């Protein structure tokens, strides 16, 4: 009986250990960078848009059409 009671605890511990690195990656997610604007119908790239951050504000600039 004692071992069976420890199984859920062990499973929870292993699951949280496996998911911890994913939480760290999600924390650093940011929209800053170069983005592609893709046409819904053709699937072709229509424009390149650069997102930057300055003074706590996000700004977008079309780099190529």
Whole-number pLDDT of residue 2? 55
- Token look-up 């511990």 returns 13
Distance of CA 32 to the CA centre of its chain: 12
- Token look-up 């960078």 returns 33
Whole-number pLDDT of residue 27? 62
Report which DSSP code applies to 29: -
pLDDT tens digits along 1-49: 455 667 778 888 888 888 777 776 666 678 999 999 999 999 999 999 9
Q: Domain spans of the chain?
A: 2-64
Q: Where are the alpha helices (DSSP H) in 1-65?
A: 2-27
Whole-number pLDDT of residue 22? 76
């Amino acid at each position: 009986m004692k071992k069976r009671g420890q199984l859920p605890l062990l499973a929870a511990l292993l699951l949280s250990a496996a998911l911890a690195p994913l939480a760290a990656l999600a924390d650093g997610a940011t929209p800053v960078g170069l983005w592609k604007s893709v046409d819904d119908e053709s699937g072709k790239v229509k424009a390149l848009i650069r997102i930057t951050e300055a003074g706590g504000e996000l700004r977008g600039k079309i780099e190529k059409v």
